[in-house]
């Protein structure tokens, strides 16, 4: 086959990888064979040499490049469910790993990174790689942006089915791009820990997210979306008020910029700010738990502050808060299903702490610089949070005649403050595992953010990729960039909201019908299940014939339909994340085994049917209550109210 034939065939298959395809198309004209030399190895295979800065680098063995790749794979790949290949070369290693890799049928498994796109183009020109490129398990990332590649990797991997990740480095590529690969590995390690943390969170409190989505939906669906504020404060200094112990240092300075710089507060700092006579422009709330709703108790009558929340926020906050509200989304929950029925909410990034949400909001509105105060992320001055937060309320409730607030706080810090950092004066600051993770998250995000980030906390442990100055210094430097904040906010809030309540009602009604239909079908197949369980459990799947085979196919077909019903599965997973993770692993295992008996599959099916019935018993009343509230709103709209 001619070189051009290989290229055309490979490019056709590469279209499945749009980003890589676009990069290759843009660079093809600039490609020079003189720098990328393909020779025939002694065994007849192809080897590659690269001329870089006047030096010749050999990418493969001159004798037997395929055997060399086999030895690498044999050493580094132990049939893990997923693999990352750092350095593509001529593609030998990638092809071998893919052949050995079990196909779990649940999204991408092989992630290939090649920092030099011309290496990849060379391989496309000289080898038929169409089978590799066309495989749905493969993701291709080209270029040397570690942040983009890392995010692409973690966004495409289903962490619930990961059973090991092999990291396979192509040594010549690593030698050539050592710093890039080092940074990429750090990024991937961080993202892996973050994603596992999100999965663990879903396993523990996913039901709260889900319940709150449905309870809040009737009111939240008609609220203005945060997207209305995007890019409305371009190059306007914006202050984020976190709830660290140091916040008191800057309360008086906040009054100087009220109305000139947008002030965005986290919920935990809200009460303390109001008690000091300072009203933030926006308060952010994102936590689904009841405890966080306590930050709004005692300040219910405040009507000038805007609440920015997410559907999963605890419903009591919606009931308590009397001021204007804006809805946002973190991209999950009900939003992907309901977004087609109204104008966009506007998506914000949130990772564990509401301060991450406030930071992304500041970025999205166009703020520059973004100024943090109360951003300690540590137990400063022997305290946990700023005064007046609900965390102090909880500690107060634990008091008895033989202890004090100071003792309870000290005990809390001693139990959790396992990590030590030094402040600028050399003093030791203690922090816990969560705040340490937030520090890493923020510093990673700050590194990727082009605008100036000012840490005006005057303490704490966040020091990388920020400018350190006091809030007073920041105000003096940027005061001339202030704007009429309230005019901009009120103008955007006054805009009409396009939301089709009738379409939303009909959609949820259809979902209710679908859940009921599956329950009816499960009930109908139970006698068939019992018959199969009693009569053919010991048989292997391949041995089942005739009417028994038809009965088994009916049972298995219903199982698969429930699993593949994307709309319902999303709700099912939210309430049963632990079960779904385990069930998925069991299904993958059975599909990859030979000689599986009917009884093994029937046990897996029984578990799904039982869990689905429990899901329906919880989901249907939740859905019916939401439909009832939506119906009332639809009637009011029809009556012109």
What is the mean pLDDT for each group of 10 consecutive residues in the chain (641 residues)? 75 89 88 84 90 89 92 88 91 94 79 93 93 91 82 73 82 88 78 55 62 95 98 98 88 93 96 93 91 86 95 92 96 91 95 92 98 89 60 52 53 66 77 84 91 94 93 96 97 97 97 95 94 94 93 94 85 80 83 89 93 92 96 92 71
Give a yes or no: residue 201 inside a domain: no
Q: 585 and 466: one domain? A: no
Tell me if 54 is assigned to some domain: yes
Q: Is residue 56 part of a domain?
A: yes
Query: Are residues 340 and 306 both part of a single domain?
Result: yes
End-to-end CA distance of the chain: 72
Shared domain check, 110 and 88: yes
Contact call for residues 279 and 300 (beta carbons, < 8 A): no
Last residue of a domain, one of 425, 459, 493: 493
**243: nearest Cα among 280, 264, 268, 274:** 268
Positive or negative: CA dihedral 159, 161, 165, 166:
negative
Q: Phi/psi of residue 460, each to 5°? A: 85, -170
CA dist., res. 451 & res. 370, Å (int):
8
436 and 531 share a domain? no
Partners of residue 283 on adjacent β-strands: 265, 307
**Residue 546 domain-assigned?**
yes
pLDDT given for residue 367 in this prediction:
98
493, 498, 501, 507: CA torsion to nearest 10: -130
Distance, CA of 61 to CA of 68 (rounded, Å): 7
Six token digits for residue 56: 């010749």
Regarding whether 505 and 460 lie in a shared domain, the answer is: no
Per-residue confidence (pLDDT) for residue 399, from 0 to 100: 46
**Residue 377 carries which DSSP code?**
-
pLDDT the model gives residue 423: 75
One domain, residues 333 and 439 = yes
User: Could you tell me if residue 412 is inside a domain?
Assistant: yes
Boundary-marking domain end, from 493, 519, 547 = 493
- Degrees, nearest 5: CA angle 81-86-92: 80
Specify whether 266 is located in the same domain as 189: no
CATH number of the domain at 58, please.
3.40.50
What pLDDT score does 384 carry? 62
Going 181 to 182 to 184 to 189, the CA torsion angle's sign is: positive
What is residue 102's three-state secondary structure?
coil
User: Does the residue 212 lie in any domain?
Assistant: no
CA distance 455 to 476: 15
pLDDT at position 183:
81
Residue 69 in tokens: 């790749």
Sheet holding 370-373, edge to edge: 325-328, 306-310, 282-284, 263-266, 238-241, 370-373, 453-455, 467-468
Whether residue 245 sits in one domain with residue 144? no
Q: Are 379 and 413 in contact (CB under 8 A)?
A: yes
Q: Are residues 322 and 344 in the same domain?
A: yes
Q: How many domains does the chain have?
A: 3
74 lies in a domain? yes
- Partners of 261 in beta bridges: 258
* CA–CA distance, 77 with 168 (Å, rounded to integer): 7
CA atoms 325, 326, 332, 335: torsion sign: positive
Q: Do 542 and 439 lie in a common domain?
A: no
Q: Is residue 203 situated within a structural domain?
A: no
Residue 525 is part of which domain span?
501-638
- Where a domain ends, among 464, 493, 522? 493
Q: Are residues 78 and 109 in the same domain?
A: yes
Same domain, 77 and 182: yes
Cis peptide before 369 (omega within 30 of 0): yes
């Amino acid at each position: 086959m001619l070189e051009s034939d290989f290229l055309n065939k490979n490019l056709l298959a590469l279209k499945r990888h749009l980003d890589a395809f676009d990069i290759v198309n843009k660079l093809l004209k600039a490609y020079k064979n003189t720098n990328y030399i393909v020779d025939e190895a002694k065994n007849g295979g192809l080897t590659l040499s690269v001329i870089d800065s006047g030096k010749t680098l050999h990418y493969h063995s001159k004798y037997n490049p395929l055997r060399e790749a086999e030895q690498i794979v044999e050493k580094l790949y132990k049939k893990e469910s997923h693999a990352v290949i750092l350095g593509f070369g001529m593609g030998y290693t990638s092809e071998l790993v893919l052949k050995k890799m079990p196909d779990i049928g649940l999204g991408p498994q092989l992630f290939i990174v090649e920092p030099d796109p011309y290496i990849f183009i060379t391989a496309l020109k000289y080898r038929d790689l169409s089978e590799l490129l066309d495989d749905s398990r493969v993701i291709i990332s080209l270029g040397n942006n570690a942040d983009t590649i890392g995010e692409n990797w973690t966004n495409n991997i289903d962490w619930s089915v990961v059973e090991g990740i092999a990291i396979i480095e192509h040594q010549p590529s690593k030698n050539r791009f050592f710093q890039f690969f080092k940074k990429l590995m750090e990024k991937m390690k961080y993202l892996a820990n973050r994603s596992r943390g999100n999965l663990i969170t879903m396993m523990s409190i996913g039901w709260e997210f889900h319940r709150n989505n449905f309870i809040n939906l009737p009111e939240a669906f008609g609220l203005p979306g945060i997207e209305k504020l995007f890019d409305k404060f371009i190059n306007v200094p914006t202050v984020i008020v976190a709830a660290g112990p140091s916040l008191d240092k800057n309360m008086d300075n906040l009054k100087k910029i009220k109305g000139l710089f947008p002030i965005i507060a986290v919920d935990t700092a809200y009460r303390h700010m109001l008690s000091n006579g300072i009203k933030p422009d926006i308060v952010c709330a994102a936590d689904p738990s009841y405890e966080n709703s306590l930050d709004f108790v005692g300040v219910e009558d405040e009507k000038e502050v805007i609440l920015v929340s997410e559907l999963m926020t605890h419903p009591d906050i919606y009931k308590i808060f009397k001021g204007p509200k804006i809805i946002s989304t973190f991209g999950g929950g009900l939003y992907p299903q309901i977004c087609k029925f109204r104008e966009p909410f506007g998506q914000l990034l949130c990772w564990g702490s509401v301060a991450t949400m406030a930071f992304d909001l500041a970025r999205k509105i166009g703020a520059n610089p973004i100024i943090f105060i109360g951003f300690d992320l540590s137990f400063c001055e022997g305290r946990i949070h700023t005064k007046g937060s609900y965390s102090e309320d909880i500690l107060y409730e634990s008091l008895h005649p033989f202890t004090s607030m100071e003792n309870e706080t000290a005990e809390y810090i001693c139990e959790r403050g396992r990590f030590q950092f030094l402040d600028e004066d050399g003093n030791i600051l203690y922090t816990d595992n969560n705040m340490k993770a937030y520090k890493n998250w923020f510093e990673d995000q700050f590194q990727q953010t082009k605008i100036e980030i000012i840490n005006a906390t005057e303490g704490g442990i966040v020091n990388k990729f920020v400018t350190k100055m006091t809030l007073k210094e920041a105000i003096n430097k940027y005061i001339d960039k202030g704007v009429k904040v309230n005019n901009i906010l009120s103008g955007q809030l006054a805009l009409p909201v396009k939301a089709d309540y009738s379409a939303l009602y009909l959609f949820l009604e259809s979902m209710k019908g679908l859940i009921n239909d599956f329950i009816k079908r499960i009930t109908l197949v139970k006698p068939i299940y019992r018959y199969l369980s009693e009569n053919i459990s010991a048989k292997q799947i391949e041995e089942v014939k005739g009417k028994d085979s038809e009965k088994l196919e009916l049972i298995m077909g219903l199982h698969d339909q429930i699993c593949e019903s994307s709309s319902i599965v999303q709700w099912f997973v939210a309430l049963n994340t632990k079960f779904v993770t385990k069930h998925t692993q069991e299904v993958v295992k059975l599909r990859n085994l030979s000689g599986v008996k009917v009884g093994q599959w029937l046990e897996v099916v029984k578990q799904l049917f039982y869990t689905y019935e429990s899901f329906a018993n919880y989901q249907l009343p939740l859905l019916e209550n939401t439909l009832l509230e939506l119906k009332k709103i639809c009637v009011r709209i029809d009556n012109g109210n």
